[in-house]
A and B are shown apart, each in its own frame.
Chain A
Amino acid sequence: MQEKLKNIRSSPYISGGDTSVSIMIKIIISLLPIVCFAVYKYKLNAVFHIFITVLACIFVEYLFCFITKKRNTVKDGSAVVTGILIALLLPAYAPYYMGVIGGVFAIVVVKKLCGGIGKYIINPSAAAKCFLFLSFPTVMRVYSNGAADLSVKNLIDGKNIDTLSLIVGDSVGSMGEVCAAALLIGAIILVVSGVIDVYIPASYTISFLIMLIIFGGRGFDAGYIAAQFAGGGFLFVAWFIATDYTTAPITYKGQVIYGILLGIFTAMVRIWGHRNEDIYFIVLIVNLFTPFIEDITIPKPFILGGGKNV
C-alpha cells in the first residue's frame, strides 16, 4: 500500500482550502483580543507569562521529537496555541515557572505520550491547568493583589454581582477569564474565519441556560444568569477549550450531544460546587466520552436518506 503511494502521486493534483499552519494562525488571531486585554490589565506579568510558556512548549516539543528520533512536529503550530492557552489560564500573580511546568506536562504527558496530535484523549491546556491547580494549590489561587473575591464564589455565596464589571474586565480571575467582551470578539473571529462550527458552543450555552433556569433556585433572574455566563471562565471554555479539534466528536449530532453533556455538568458544578476551577475538570471528564459518542452517532449516507435539503 505504501509502495503504491510512493511511486506515483495520487489525485487530487490541485489543492485548496487551509493548511494546518493557516488554521493555527487564525486561532492565534482570534486569541489576540484577550491577550491584548490581559497585557493592558496586568502589564508585564502577562507578557512574561505568555512569552515563557510559549517558548517552553516549543522547546519541549522539539526536544521530545529529537530524543525519540521522530519527525519534527513543531511546524504545525499547535505548540504555540497550547502555550498561549496555558498562559491565559494562569493567575497573573503566579510565579513564572508555573508556565514551564504546565507546558512540559501538557506537551509531553498529555499530547505526545498519548499519541501525538490528532490522537490524544484529553485537552492538554485544561489538563495542564488541573495539574497545576492540584500540585501547587497555594500559589495558583492568588488571583489578585487585594481582597477581591472570585465571581463564581460570589455567585455561590449568594451575593449580588455587577455583570457590567465582568464584561468590561474589572473582575478577578485567571488572565483569560476576566474580560467577557474580548472573549466574545475572539469568538466572533473564530466563527467568521471558519475555524469552528457553532454546534458545540451553541448547545453548551443552551443546555447550561436551561439547567440554570430549572435548578438554579432563582428562576428567570436575568442578572444572575448573565453573571453566570460572563464570569468564571464559561466563555473561555465554551469557545476556545471545548472546541479543540482532537477531543471533540467529529459528527454533527455528536457535537450537539457533547455540548449538552458539558452544559449539564457545568450547571451542576456551578450550582452545587464550591470551586472556580471545577469547570476544567468537567471538560476533561466529558472529553473521555468522545469515542463513545462518535460510535453512536454514525451519520446516514446520501443514498440511504441523509444530507438532503428540502
Chain B
Amino acid sequence: MFNDSIKYFWEQILGEDKFNAGIISAAIFVSAVQNSISGIAVGLAIILTYVLSAFICSFLAKVIPIKIRLFVYILINAIIATTISMFLLNVKLFWNYTALIDYIPVIAVSCAIIVCIDCPRIDKDYKSSLKDAFEIGITGALLILLYGVFREFLTSASILGINIPPVRGILENFHFFEYSSGGFILMGIIAGCMQKIHIVMMRKKFMDDGVKETAASELDN
C-alpha cells in the first residue's frame, strides 16, 4: 500500500503527460515576476540559458552514455544559468527593478527541467538543437512578458512603469494580485483565455460540417 501511494504521488506531480513538469517552473516564475521589467529580465535570462545550454549539450550528446545524460544536462544548465543571471544583474537597467539574485537557483532548475524534457532534438546536431531551444526560449519569454504586464497592471496600475491614474483609483484597495496566490489565479486566467482562443481557431479551421461537429463536441467535452 505504501509503494502504491508513493507511486501515485509522483504520478500526480510529474504526470504521464510531460507538460506537468512545467508546474514547478510556473510556481517559480509567479513569485519572481511581479512587474513587467522583471518579466523582461527573466525572459532574457531564459532565452540565453536555453540557447547556450542546448548548444553545449548537443556536442556532448554523443560522448556521454545514455544513463547519465540527463544529470549532465542539468549540471551544465545550472552552471550556465548561474553565470548568466549574475551577468544580467550587473546591467544597470535592471538594478532597481529586480531582486533576481534570490531567484538564480530557481531559474536554473526550471530551465534544466524544461530543456531536458521538452527539447526533443537535443541529441541531433547542433543546428537543430539551437533552433529548438530558440523557439522554446522566445515563446517562453514572450509569455512571461505578457504575464508580467498583466500583473503589473492589476497591482500598481501601470504598464512598463507608466502610470494610468483612473484605474489606480479603482484598484487602490485591492491587494490580491500582489501575493503569490493572486499570481497563480492570474496564470490560470491567462491559460484559460489562451485555451479558448485555441478552440475558436480550431473551430474556424475545420470548415467541413461533419468534422466541425465532432471536433466541436470533442473540444466541448
> A contacts B directly in the complex (CB < 8 Å)?
yes
Which residues of A are interface residues toward B (Cβ below 8 A)? 109, 130-131, 134-139, 292, 295-296
| B176 CB contact (under 8 Å) in A134, A138, A139 | A134
Q: Which A residues lie within 8 Å of B181 (CB)?
A: 130, 134
Please, how many angstroms separate the alpha-carbon atoms of A139 and B5 in the complex?
A: 44
Select one of A134, A137, A138, A295 contacting B182, CB under 8 A. Answer: A134
Q: Is B175 an interface residue (CB 8 A)?
A: yes
User: CB distance B173 to A296 under 8 Å?
Assistant: no
Contact (A296, B1) CB under 8 Å given A109-B185, A134-B181, A134-B182: yes
In the complex, are the beta carbons of A137 and B8 less than 8 A apart?
no
Closest to B176 in A: A135
Across the interface, which residues of B come within 8 angstroms of A296, CB to CB? 1, 4-5
Interface residue? B19 (CB, 8 A): no
Apart from the given pairs A292-B5, A292-B8, 11 other A-B contacts in the complex at a CB distance below 8 Å: A134-B181, A134-B182, A135-B174, A135-B175, A137-B175, A138-B173, A139-B173, A292-B9, A295-B5, A295-B8, A296-B1
Measured in the bound complex, the distance between the Cα atoms of B176 and A109 in whole Å is 14
- In the complex, A292 Cα to B12 Cα: how many Å? 10
Q: Point out the residues of chain A lying under 8 angstroms from B71, CB to CB.
A: none
Decide yes or no whether B179 CB sits under 8 A from chain A.
yes
Chain A interface, >50% SS class = helix
> Could you tell me the distance between the alpha carbons of A263 and B52 in the complex, rounded to whole angstroms?
50
Give the residue name and chain of the B residue nearest to A284 (CB).
B181
Within 166-189 of B, Cβ neighbours of A (below 8 Å) are at: 173-176, 179, 181-182, 185
Closest residue to A136 on the B side, CB-wise?
A: B173
Docked complex: B1-22 residues within 8 A CB-CB of A? 1, 4-5, 8-9, 12
Closest to A296 in B: B5
**B positions within 8 Å CB-CB of A:** 1, 4-5, 8-9, 12, 173-176, 179, 181-182, 185
Q: Name the A residues within 8 Å of B174 (CB-CB).
A: 135-136
B135 to chain A: closest CB distance in Å? 31
Looking at the assembled complex, report how far the CB atom of A90 sits from the nearest CB atom of chain B, in whole angstroms. Answer: 16
Contact in complex: B175, A134 (CB < 8 Å): yes
Q: How far is the CA of A296 from the CA of B3 in the complex (A)?
A: 11
Q: In the complex, which of the residues B173, B179, B182 has the most CB atoms of chain A within 10 Å of its own CB atom?
A: B173
Chain B residues whose C-beta falls within 8 Å of the C-beta of A109 in the assembled complex:
185
The interface residues of chain B lying within 8 Å CB-to-CB of A135 are: 173-176, 182
A131 partner residues in chain B, CB cutoff 8 A: 176
B47 → A minimal CB distance (Å): 33
List 10 A-B pairs, Cβ < 8 Å. Answer: A130-B181, A131-B176, A135-B174, A135-B175, A138-B173, A139-B173, A292-B8, A295-B5, A296-B1, A296-B4
Q: Which 4 A-B pairs give the minimum distances between C-beta atoms?
A: A135-B176, A296-B5, A135-B174, A134-B176
> How many whole Å from B187's CB to the nearest CB in chain A?
13
* Complex-state Cα separation, A130 to B185, whole angstroms: 13
Instruction: Kindly list chain A residues whose C-beta atoms are within 8 Å of the C-beta of B185.
Output: 109
How many angstroms from the CA of A138 to the CA of B179 in the assembled complex? Answer: 15
Shortest distance between the CB of A23 and any CB in chain B (Å): 29
> What residues of chain B lie closer than 8 Å to A138, measured between beta carbons?
173
Q: A296 to B1: give the CA distance in the assembly, Å.
A: 7
Contacts of A137 in B (CB 8 A): 175
**Which A residues are CB-close (under 8 A) to B179?**
134
A295 to chain B, nearest CB (A): 6
B170 to chain A, nearest CB (A): 12
A19 to B137, CA, bound (A): 55
What residue of chain B has the Cβ atom nearest to residue A109's Cβ? B185
A220 to B4, CA, bound (A): 40
B residues within 8 A CB of A130? 181
Report the separation of the CA atoms of residues A136 and B174 in the bound assembly, to the nearest whole angstrom. 6
Chain A residue with minimal CB distance to B8?
A295
Which residue of A is nearest B1, CB measured? A296
Min C-beta distance of B221 to chain A, whole Å? 13
- Report how far A48 CA is from B128 CA in the complex, Å: 65
